[in-house]
Structure 1
Amino acid sequence: MANFNIDAKQDMTYDAIVIGSGISGGWAAKELCEKGLKTLVLERGRLVEHVKDYPTMTLDPWDTELRGGLTPEQKARHPQGGRVGFIGEMNEHFHANDVENPYTEVKPFLWVRAHQMGGRSLLWGKQTYRWSDLDFEANAKDGHGVDWPIRYKDLAPWYTYVEKFAGISGEALGLPQLPDSHFLPPMELNCVEKHVKSRIEKDFPGRNMIIGRVAHLTEPINGRGKCQFRNRCDRGCPYGAYFSSNAVTLPAANATGNLTIRPFSIVQSIVYDEQTGKASGVRIIDAETNADIVYNAKIIFVNASTLSTTQILLNSTSNRFPNGLGNDSGELGHNLMDHTYRVGAMGKVEGFEDQYYKGRRPNGIYIPRYVNLQGGPQSDKFVRGFGYQGGGGRSNWGAGANEPDFGADFKDRMMKPGPWEFFITGFAECLPYHENKVYLNKDVLDKWGQPTLSIDAEWGANELALNEQIRIDAKEMLDRAGLKEVIDFDNKHEMGYGIHEMGTARMGRDPKTSVLNGFNQVHACKNVFVTDGACMTSSSCVNPSLTYMALTARAADHAVSELKKMNL
């Protein structure tokens, strides 16, 4: 694929270094390479090449010994990440080893990591929604956190830019709180989802139910095939139908001839030059040999994922920055956010027994935020808001897994689909609390002798109030939609379950209260850019990855422009 910097004679100097190869790191690599910069991508994990390294992409459950379950040895590698319930035999190889990469939960926090080329872009849910000024103005309006240094108009053209290349399927609605994207044709709701949609939109004016907006191709583009509705995305997609760094941005970067990838590179710190007032390079530890190596570059993009990025910045100390690179404000490591999850309602839908659906659509429905909108219903119980994801379907032959039965009649019964069911679960915005923080733990070291992170964060009263409303509204909507045996639920959980960790190196207008400026540059070290989730100043209630993509493309454009002007 790309040039690999793994030989004894190594190039030590590049125009740009990108730390991390996940969603934002892949975009940084593509943009910098396409703009002519010789770019080194440092990846702490192994190489994963598109298609070649997707060993389970075509396997059926009966093709594996444990039918998707984990061996005791595999479970032992994921004592923390395994709590989320997403790790199985088919994707375990894409999840980081918690034992080799420990962290300390001062308060319970689930940190799901993926240490390989492509990072979590091989595992993400692919829900892609633009933020609006409702989100970018929220902090300034209600006084929580600091004001974003940008607004929707600053990011709108960059949303369009990344959407055209990534490929986003969805339906235009014209809602101010959920701006429309540049869409490929939407996936289709099934018959029960269409029925529930009509009931909710009739009985609850202002509430819309749409097919999810996702980074799945419904038409081939740029040599990538369209989604085959296999719903095996977290094994790697051989068609390149969903967006991942491995299938989309890294191949584009490689096509320029400017990309070099160095795997097994544990970034120890960013090297700061006291004379120039700039970062001069990145110090790594070779994960296989433990060699200490420094690579030099004019600009550095830190895209290791939210908490790993902040861990690197905190560990990058110097006379100028004794508490971590760019930490003049003392905000580095603070204001950690996530989305609440696992709260909602479910029930059965009568009728439609003569209908089914084709394939395994890797997407569900979405109900955009409808509370605390300008000119809409307001709540005095909480600030901000929430949206719902979910979907409808029929139980199938898997329903017989726990039945103590056998024989021809049992087999015939299992071939008949079960009743229709429908569920929704809410995602609520988390406020940026200063006390929700991470910091270096020098008493607990990782496999390579480096300080690990301690995570001290929990939901506040506002998030708990949002969750309560999510539960109440979910049950009311499903009851009014005519579902039977409706059950509301709140599967209480710690932060991290949403796997949307954000903040800890936030953007802001004032260097005294933030780490980054409006172009994602470290205020006091302008040639270092942070464009992954660490940069986020608030969390919205929609999935953040599309915003990371747009911020990264915008920052890369600015970086190259400033480099040409000799400002970096």
Structure 2
Amino acid sequence: MEPVSSFYIKSSPEQFDAIVVGSGITGGWAAKELTERGLKTLMVERGRPVEHGIDYIGENKDPWTMPNRGRVDAKVADEQYGVQRQCYAFDEHTKQFFNNDRDMPYSTPDGRPFSWIRGNQLGGKSLMWARQSYRWSDLDFEANLKDGHGTDWPIRYTDLAPWYSHVERFVGISGSKEGLAVLPDGEFLPPFEFNTVELALKQKFDAKYAPARMIIGRTANLNKASDEHLAQGRAPCQARSQCHRGCSFGAYFSTQSATLPAAIKTGRLRIATNSIVHSVLYDAKTNRATGVRVIDAETMETREFHAKVVVLCASTLASTAILLNSTSSAFPNGLANSSGVLGHYLMDHLWAAGASGRVEGFENDYYRGRRPTATYIPRFRNVIDKHPAFLRGYALAGGAARDGWQSAAWQPGFGKDFKAMLRKPGPWHFSLGGQGEMLPRFENMVSLHPTRKDKWGIPLLHIDITHGENDRKMREDMADTAANILEDLGLKDVRKRKLTEQEYPPGLAIHEVGTARMGRDPKTSVLNGFNQAHDVPNLFVTDGSSLASSAWQNPSLTFMALTARACAYAADQLKAGKI
């Protein structure tokens, strides 16, 4: 296969069948599905090129071989990565995958916190995502209708189930079949294993809390590569605990490891990097999107690309910003925004609440093991019982580990006795942390700043979001319930953990969704059940902005399934001459 670089273009006068804006998890899937269905497709990415394996510059490098021992220089971090440095995956090995906050600012009202974690390069955040991959169920797709918060989803689980399967087989999801209605099973590779302590706690938990269950997290890492994955050039996970640096083995799913090679293989893909989409071009006479206007990230030159179909996959907030900036006499408040809800109903997962404790015994079990996932307790709140304080629910994730020599960094001591102490492992600990559903609320929104612009002359995105009463009560229950579970399992010195909104600002879960939601009624939603704009039939939005609720599961698998389904529909509609 030809190198990716041979498919790059700077400009083109031709009309493509489709333009895909963004190259992350959804952009990669859109390019794969559209090209494999015969459409000549242009992928437009605002960031720089990243070649698989070649540009993973922090891979396999030990901290002591790095200029700053794995830490980003404090002055550089303060001046350029004030927001990005909050992400768990940010360090000297990975900072090249994160945005420069100085060049790409945004605003919030009255200093209210929101942490927008971004990775603008070919592959986007697919290079450093956490890879947790869970199906939603009808409990999630029906929640808005049943409790009256948010608009009714125009699809149900049965609509998406075959597309979940389609995505899972290609991506490679390692997990266990559990038969849980709240968390449907999928097409799984063998699961990763519990360590000894986790397995003992799982047995206690399952016996005491049935029908709730502790399982191993489902992750987009190849525990065992199938023939399809080997044909993609991917190899099994090496359990190096370096996923966020990029993986030359292709053991975890990313645009570079899987969807981009598939799209390139068709010969129908072209890629324009360093191309910042300013707006979507629109023809009022035909009521069609005709392409995109871009600004060259390096030269500031403006140019246009044209296509019969436009698919926005730039990420929840970036796609919404593009639509808001695409104004005309027909759509003065943003393209496809006759409903007026574009930018509203922003959500992010609730987290940073849980508990940890000490596990007695297991002195002969020193091996914790390395694996790319954690233990996981799927949602149980408001499934069978009805909690009096809040709606919806959450999952709990965690794991067991034993203190090693690193723990001595926070202990006093020196000399012979101190060195001897370092050779003896400490006690085992087990923790649980929550991830919960945030209710969709109209007042949580994004808009374009009326006066401030970025270095390319594009209005800054203004982000206004707070947690509501339901959100706060759910987080209280996360901490209380996690602590109760650990005490019931016999742990000692159990401590709750619940950070404040200032300490864990919205956005830092990196699961922001909403703002261009799908729905049944064009008066209250932007998209229909195929991620197609109600107002502009050849415009599709398939990233997180399309979600009508956040559910409690990690959203990326649902992003991918929605994208594959929408692109199949778009290709069929285009071939039939309907769009």
Normalising to structure 1: TM-score of the pair?
0.97
Q: What SS does the corresponding residue of 1:293 show, helix, strand or coil?
A: strand
Counterpart of 1:282? Answer: 292
Q: What SS does the corresponding residue of 2:538 show, helix, strand or coil?
A: strand
Q: What is the count of residue pairs matched by the alignment?
A: 566
User: Percent identity, aligned pairs only?
Assistant: 51
Q: Distance in 2 between matches of 1:22 and 1:410?
A: 48
Counterpart of 1:466? Answer: 474
Counterpart of 2:123? Answer: 118
Give the letter aligned to residue 256 of structure 1: T
Counterpart of 2:536? Answer: 525
Structural mapping, 1:438-453, within 5 Å: 438-453=446-461
Give the C-alpha shift of residue 82 in structure 1.
2.1
1:341–1:497 Cα contact (<8 Å) kept: no
Q: What SS does the corresponding residue of 1:521 show, helix, strand or coil?
A: coil
- For structure 1, the residue ranges without an aligned partner over 5 or more in a row are none
Q: What SS does the corresponding residue of 1:459 show, helix, strand or coil?
A: coil
Counterpart of 1:500? Answer: 511
Q: What SS does the corresponding residue of 2:485 show, helix, strand or coil?
A: helix
1:84–1:110 Cα contact (<8 Å) kept: no
2:89–2:244 Cα contact (<8 Å) kept: no
Give the letter aligned to residue 153 of structure 2: W
Structural mapping, 1:507-522, within 5 Å: 507-522=518-533
Q: Distance in 2 between matches of 1:85 and 1:244?
A: 18
1:26 aligns with 2:34: no
Counterpart of 1:59? Answer: 61
Give the C-alpha shift of residue 408 in structure 1.
5.5
Counterpart of 1:213? Answer: 218
Give the C-alpha shift of residue 6 in structure 1.
5.8
Q: Distance in 2 between matches of 1:325 and 1:179?
A: 36
Q: What SS does the corresponding residue of 1:18 show, helix, strand or coil?
A: strand
Q: Distance in 1 between matches of 2:333 and 2:381?
A: 41
Counterpart of 1:140? Answer: 145
Which of the residues 363, 367, 386 maps onto 1:357? 367
Q: Distance in 2 between matches of 1:519 and 1:243?
A: 24
Q: Distance in 1 between matches of 2:59 and 2:101?
A: 24
1:425 aligns with 2:433: yes
Give the letter aligned to residue 72 of structure 2: L
Give the C-alpha shift of residue 541 in structure 1.
0.5
Give the C-alpha shift of residue 405 in structure 1.
4.3
Q: Distance in 2 between matches of 1:356 and 1:11?
A: 63
Q: What SS does the corresponding residue of 1:356 show, helix, strand or coil?
A: coil
- For structure 2, the residue ranges without an aligned partner over 5 or more in a row are none
Cα deviation digits, residues 251-275 of structure 1 (max 9, x gap): 1111111111111010000000111
Q: Distance in 2 between matches of 1:244 and 1:7?
A: 22
Give the letter aligned to residue 322 of structure 1: P
Cα deviation digits, residues 170-189 of structure 1 (max 9, x gap): 01111111000100000000
Give the C-alpha shift of residue 414 in structure 1.
2.4
1:163 aligns with 2:168: yes
Q: Distance in 1 between matches of 2:245 and 2:335?
A: 36
Give the C-alpha shift of residue 544 in structure 1.
0.3
Counterpart of 1:414? Answer: 422
1:74–1:92 Cα contact (<8 Å) kept: no
2:195–2:369 Cα contact (<8 Å) kept: no
Give the C-alpha shift of residue 46 in structure 1.
0.4
1:22–1:117 Cα contact (<8 Å) kept: yes
Q: What SS does the corresponding residue of 1:427 show, helix, strand or coil?
A: strand
Cα deviation digits, residues 36-76 of structure 1 (max 9, x gap): 11111011000111100001110112212322211011332
Q: Distance in 2 between matches of 1:460 and 1:397?
A: 42
Deviates more, 1:5-14 or 1:152-161: 5-14
Give the C-alpha shift of residue 471 in structure 1.
1.0
Counterpart of 1:554? Answer: 565
Q: Distance in 1 between matches of 2:533 and 2:37?
A: 22
Q: Distance in 2 between matches of 1:228 and 1:415?
A: 27
Give the C-alpha shift of residue 403 in structure 1.
4.2
Normalising to structure 2: TM-score of the pair?
0.95
1:50 aligns with 2:61: no
Q: What SS does the corresponding residue of 1:426 show, helix, strand or coil?
A: strand
Q: What SS does the corresponding residue of 1:327 show, helix, strand or coil?
A: coil
Cα deviation digits, residues 140-198 of structure 1 (max 9, x gap): 00000100000000000000000000000001111111000100000000011111111
Which of the residues 77, 86, 94 maps onto 1:91? 94
Q: Distance in 1 between matches of 2:187 and 2:350?
A: 28
Give the letter aligned to residue 193 of structure 1: E
Q: What SS does the corresponding residue of 1:525 show, helix, strand or coil?
A: coil
Q: Distance in 1 between matches of 2:89 and 2:78?
A: 12
Give the letter aligned to residue 202 of structure 2: K
Q: Distance in 2 between matches of 1:204 and 1:451?
A: 51
